[in-house]
């Protein structure tokens, strides 16, 4: 009997330690991810080369910045499918303003940056109105979030295409194109004539993730978001202003989306209207992979970070391994299904334990 007790004690310790390791909610996803990366590397060593890795990091930053905002909205119990078109709008609107008003007449001068930054801020404010509209229809008019944001997607994208006729806005102020765009990086290595480094979007992405993760975990605002997403009625009874929480989420998301769109415009050196096309699904998939429950109230920014990483690295990896480019979309679809299934499996296991 005594030896039984001892055994129980030892095995309890062991199981509690392993529970601590494995209960890190994102671990479930990391293992297959790391295995996949290894597999890609073995098939094509170029996959983990500096050029490849940093380029993927740059691309995933664009999705990731929006993903942070989308995570907030989903955590709060809603969803926003219009983000891609808001990014495109941000890109086009900001560049249009910059060129139309030649940066307050400062174009091609050393004070050009005032105009650039100024118009970027104006674009952020205008795009927050789109978020406000979404929030109004979803929160106050009580409409289905999917339907509203799909409609907004159409409206914004259609409007952008109508106004620009599909023509890109080019050229752009050099401060925008060069300083914010192509040259904005911490150089790491040099390959031929190209300097590879950690790009500005990626730095911004990590910063934004860090800031919002801290806010989510440590502030009342963050706790309110989780509460609203978990059970809106109870949150309301507890005195949380769920309306304000949800409005803020949508507005922040729109601002982040337009920021990302502007960064893309800076990098591609033109205000290209189709920017943002198809982003929404990749971003939501990234969130879903990262463990954000679509029902709301569960998940973290770190999860989104991992999800975005996985989505982009796996997609790039598949291409580098030689899978038909067109199958990329198919692969993304399968990844979404797998990720969501793992998430549900994880959640059921937690409930059972």
Partner 1 sequence: MLDSKLKNVKTENAGLRIIKKAFNIQEVNIIIPVIVLIVIAVILNPMFLNLDNLAVIGKRMSMWGLVAIGEGLIILTGNFDISVGAMVAFDCVFFAVAATTWHLPLVIAIVLAILLTVTLSTISGLLVVKLKINSFLTTIAMLFICKGLSKTMTNARPVLIAPAQGSDLLLHFGQQEPLKMSWTFFFFIGLIIIFQIILKKTVYGRYIYATGDNSNVAKLAGINTDFIKLSVFIISGFLIGLASIVLISKEAVANANYGTGWELQAIAAVAIGGISLAGGAGSMIGVLIGIFMMQIMTNILILLQINLNMQSVVLGVVMILATILDVRRRRKILGNID
CB 308 within 8 A of CB 63: yes
Does residue 141 bind partner 1 (CB under 8 A)? yes
Is position 233 an interface residue for partner 1 (rule: CB under 8 A)? yes
Virtual CA dihedral for 128, 130, 131, 137, nearest 10 degrees? 150
Q: Which two tokens stand for residue 1?
A: 């009997």
User: Considering only residues 189, 238, 330, 349, which one is a binding residue for partner 1 as defined by CB under 8 A?
Assistant: 330
**Distance between CA 89 and CA 94 in Å, rounded?**
8
Examine residue 234 and tell whether it contacts partner 1 (CB under 8 A). Answer: no
φ and ψ at 240, to 5 degrees? Answer: -80, 135
152 binds partner 1 (CB under 8 A): yes
Task: Please report whether residue 312 would count as binding partner 1 according to CB under 8 A.
Answer: no
Does 203 sit near partner 1 (CB under 8 A)? no
Q: Is 350 in the site for partner 1 (CB under 8 A)?
A: no
Among 106, 137, 253, 257, binds partner 1 (CB under 8 A): 137
Q: Please report whether residue 117 would count as binding partner 1 according to CB under 8 A.
A: no
Could you say which of 151, 198, 206, 252 contacts partner 1 (CB under 8 A)? 151
- Is residue 153 close enough to count as binding partner 1 by CB under 8 A? yes
Q: Which segment (28-36, 184-192, 281-289, 302-310) binds partner 1 by CB under 8 A?
A: 281-289
Q: Which CB atom, from 184 or from 288, has the smaller least distance to partner 1?
A: 288
Residue placing its CB nearer to partner 1 in the complex, 82 or 199 = 82
Footprint of partner 1 (CB under 8 A): 137, 141-144, 146-148, 150-155, 157-159, 161-162, 232-233, 281, 284-285, 288, 294-295, 324, 326-334, 336-337, 340-341, 344
């Amino acid at each position: 009997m005594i030896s039984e007790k001892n055994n129980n004690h030892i095995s309890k310790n062991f199981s509690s330690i392993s529970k601590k390791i494995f209960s890190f909610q994102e671990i479930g996803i990391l293992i297959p991810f790391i295995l996949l990366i290894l597999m890609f590397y073995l098939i094509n060593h170029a996959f983990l080369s500096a050029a490849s890795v940093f380029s993927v990091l740059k691309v995933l930053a664009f999705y990731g910045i929006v993903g942070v905002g989308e995570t907030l909205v989903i955590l709060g119990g809603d969803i926003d499918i219009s983000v891609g078109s808001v990014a495109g709008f941000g890109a086009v609107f900001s560049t249009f303003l910059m060129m139309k008003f030649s940066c307050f007449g400062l174009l091609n001068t050393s004070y050009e940056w005032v105009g650039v930054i100024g118009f970027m801020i104006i674009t952020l404010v205008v795009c927050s109105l789109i978020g406000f509209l979404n929030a109004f229809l979803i929160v106050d008019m009580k409409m289905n979030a999917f339907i509203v944001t799909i409609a907004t997607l159409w409206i914004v994208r259609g409007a952008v295409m109508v106004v620009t006729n599909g023509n890109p806005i080019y050229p752009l102020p050099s401060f925008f194109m060069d300083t914010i765009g192509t040259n904005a990086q911490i150089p790491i290595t040099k390959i031929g004539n190209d300097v590879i480094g950690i790009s500005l979007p990626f730095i911004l992405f990590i910063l934004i993730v860090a800031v919002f993760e801290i806010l989510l975990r440590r502030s009342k605002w963050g706790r309110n978001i989780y509460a609203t997403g978990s059970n809106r009625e109870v949150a309301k009874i507890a005195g949380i202003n769920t309306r304000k929480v949800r409005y803020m989420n949508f507005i922040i998301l729109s601002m982040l989306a337009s920021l990302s769109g502007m960064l893309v415009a800076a990098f591609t050196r033109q205000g290209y209207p189709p920017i943002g096309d198809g982003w929404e699904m990749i971003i939501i998939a990234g969130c879903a992979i990262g463990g954000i429950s679509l029902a709301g109230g569960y998940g973290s920014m770190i999860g989104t970070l991992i999800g975005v990483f996985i989505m982009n690295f796996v997609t790039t990896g598949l291409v580098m391994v030689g899978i038909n480019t067109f199958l990329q979309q198919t692969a993304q679809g399968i990844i979404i299904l797998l990720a969501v299934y793992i998430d549900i499996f994880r959640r059921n296991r937690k409930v059972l334990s």
